[in-house]
A and B are shown apart, each in its own frame.
Chain A
């Protein structure tokens, strides 16, 4: 049983080692591809086990919880692992076209696989200090990927990204230390009982705020998001796609986990703060995007505004809202990664990402235009695409609570998202290219173009698929939200109260 939990982490690590050894030849990218397919299979097996059993847990080295390190997968963890593997595979295919041999020799594929391993580990661990370690694995790999190639803009972006992320890590680490001092345990399931038993709940709330700040920087919520638009538009497109899809979502996942499992003693205070943080995140993100004229910078600001919807799902703290939050998380990873991949193709065709200097894509590459429309309108929440259902659930949840101000902003931000998307559409696709270039697909050699287009088509098909047949996904999110709101199964499975394979 516990091997199912280990494989999704072990496979990317093994792939990273092999990809590093063969980084000088053409084998590296194929190793990376094979490893990504392996991860996808492993995560699929994990998902089927979770669907069968509800929650599965494994104690590493047979040290029983709460003393050893526990890996645990409930519905939310499992779906995040699967979606990580899907994004990993999509970007691994894309990288086969985009990443030049120069970057491969510097160890691109190895760093990429370590990043995937770190993200997967963060989703699967049931131990707070272990979560810190996975954050660091993820962080160091992302540092490497961000500055790989070493252009001036990348170095500048790297400094800002590194500085703010290190501060958040230290806040998180101090929080762990204080929480351990208060409760004497680091196991997340054990912490639920231990934190509730603490006499001085005021101290718990202080520590909860430290966690909120630490994870908030990772998730890029208002007012802690400044590292994101400063850096996401500088690395190669495959890197920014995987960053945009996964990294901030790890922060959101950690918030969801800690603020449903551990810090639920003072919901009226902590989650109320989170509500207004979410609303401000949504609004500032979308307004920031409106002021930009660079393809990737617009998309970066939209990550921030969409993060607001996910944390809003957590903050409203009703079954419907959390369900919307989980659904939003999954839908957003697919859509956002895909938009960055489209931006990469657009840049290769037109020569730039500054919207003022590009154009003519609709006339010359109508297929790319169609493939942009799908994720872009899904992001804005148009039916029948996946984003519509995600927004629908969140807005429904806020109406249910009669929180009209929140409903108003959730709908307004959706409207402003359309404004940004039509700006990209109008400037990159409709207007003629200012230099008179015809950005026909043949401007990219077929060996580069085909691997770049496969993941875009695949992810767009998933967006449409989720949009047309949302029922199983909504049901999944519903069970997941129920597990988050009453985590007795989670706690019992980890602590071995319920019969569990060693």
Chain B
């Protein structure tokens, strides 16, 4: 189970790096989504995988008996998913607004904040 998760993480990271190297910001954003999922899987796997042992406390007892799954990484992943979702939604909205105003999402052409070298030199 762990090795399968490790392979999935590897594939996700590889795909996300490939997407992030693309010149379009939208592709970069998709890469970011994959990377965020890879990070979540890493946390999930680092809590160790336990099959079919939910962290439930039997009735009448005050602590779970026997081996149970680690609930903490799941709580962490849940938090990370929520935060990641918010951030990615913002980034998508930002990308949309940028496309609407700048008429491009090619990162090479986005030079509003940092005008091309030479433009400043000629003014000097």
A163 touches B32 (CB 8 A): yes
B101 touches A150 (CB 8 A): yes
> Are A159 and B36 CB-contacts (below 8 A) given A178-B46, A180-B47?
no
> Are A140 and B45 CB-contacts (below 8 A) given A173-B39, A230-B114?
no
A153 touches B113 (CB 8 A): yes
**Would you call A174 an interface residue if the criterion is a C-beta within 8 Å of the partner chain's C-beta atoms?**
yes
A155 CB contacts on chain B under 8 angstroms: 94, 97-98, 101-102, 112
A293 touches B32 (CB 8 A): no
A163 touches B101 (CB 8 A): no
Q: Within B89-124, which residues are at the interface with A (CB < 8 Å)?
A: 90-91, 94-95, 97-98, 101-102, 107, 110-114, 120, 123-124
Q: How many residues of B contact A (CB 8 A)?
A: 40
User: What is the distance, in angstroms, from B88's C-beta to the closest C-beta of chain A?
Assistant: 8
A234 CB contacts on chain B under 8 angstroms: 113
**Would you call B83 an interface residue if the criterion is a C-beta within 8 Å of the partner chain's C-beta atoms?**
yes
**Would you call B69 an interface residue if the criterion is a C-beta within 8 Å of the partner chain's C-beta atoms?**
no
Interface of B is mostly: helix
A157 touches B46 (CB 8 A): no
A356 touches B124 (CB 8 A): yes
A162 CB contacts on chain B under 8 angstroms: 90-91, 94
**Would you call B19 an interface residue if the criterion is a C-beta within 8 Å of the partner chain's C-beta atoms?**
no
> Are A160 and B113 CB-contacts (below 8 A) given A166-B91, A167-B35, A180-B73?
yes
**Would you call B43 an interface residue if the criterion is a C-beta within 8 Å of the partner chain's C-beta atoms?**
yes
> Are A140 and B113 CB-contacts (below 8 A) given A167-B32, A180-B73?
no
**Would you call A331 an interface residue if the criterion is a C-beta within 8 Å of the partner chain's C-beta atoms?**
no
> Are A293 and B47 CB-contacts (below 8 A) given A136-B87, A160-B113?
no
Q: How many residues of A contact B (CB 8 A)?
A: 40
A465 CB contacts on chain B under 8 angstroms: none
* Interface residues as binary, A140-175 with B (CB distance below 8 Å gives 1, 0 otherwise): 100100010010111111111011001101100110
A173 touches B124 (CB 8 A): no
User: What is the distance, in angstroms, from B25's C-beta to the closest C-beta of chain A?
Assistant: 6
Of the candidates B38, B86, B97, the one whose C-beta lies within 8 Å of that of A140 is: B86
**Would you call B22 an interface residue if the criterion is a C-beta within 8 Å of the partner chain's C-beta atoms?**
no
B102 touches A173 (CB 8 A): no
A156 CB contacts on chain B under 8 angstroms: 98, 102, 110-114
* Interface residues as binary, A22-63 with B (CB distance below 8 Å gives 1, 0 otherwise): 000000000000000000000000000000000000000000
B98 CB contacts on chain A under 8 angstroms: 155-156, 158-159
User: What is the distance, in angstroms, from A103's C-beta to the closest C-beta of chain B?
Assistant: 16
B46 touches A170 (CB 8 A): no
B39 touches A159 (CB 8 A): no
Q: Within A409-462, which residues are at the interface with B (CB < 8 Å)?
A: none
**Would you call B42 an interface residue if the criterion is a C-beta within 8 Å of the partner chain's C-beta atoms?**
yes
A268 CB contacts on chain B under 8 angstroms: none
User: What is the distance, in angstroms, from A423's C-beta to the closest C-beta of chain B?
Assistant: 12
**Would you call A119 an interface residue if the criterion is a C-beta within 8 Å of the partner chain's C-beta atoms?**
no
How far apart are the CA atoms of A373 and B119 in the complex, in Å?
A: 30
Chain A residue at minimum C-beta to C-beta distance from B43? A177
Chain A residue at minimum C-beta to C-beta distance from B121? A293
> Are A129 and B102 CB-contacts (below 8 A) given A140-B87, A231-B113?
no
Q: A133-B83, A163-B91 are in contact. List 20 more A-B contacts (CB 8 A).
A: A132-B80, A136-B83, A140-B86, A152-B101, A152-B102, A152-B112, A155-B94, A156-B102, A157-B112, A159-B110, A163-B32, A166-B87, A169-B87, A170-B32, A173-B80, A174-B43, A177-B42, A178-B46, A180-B73, A231-B113
Q: Which residues of B contact A (CB under 8 A)?
A: 20, 25, 28, 32, 35-36, 38-39, 42-48, 72-73, 76, 79-80, 83, 86-87, 90-91, 94-95, 97-98, 101-102, 107, 110-114, 120, 123-124
Could you show 25 A-B contacts with beta carbons less than 8 Å apart? A129-B76, A129-B79, A132-B80, A133-B79, A152-B112, A153-B113, A155-B94, A156-B110, A156-B112, A158-B94, A158-B98, A159-B95, A159-B110, A162-B91, A163-B28, A170-B35, A174-B39, A177-B42, A181-B45, A181-B46, A181-B47, A230-B113, A231-B113, A233-B113, A293-B120
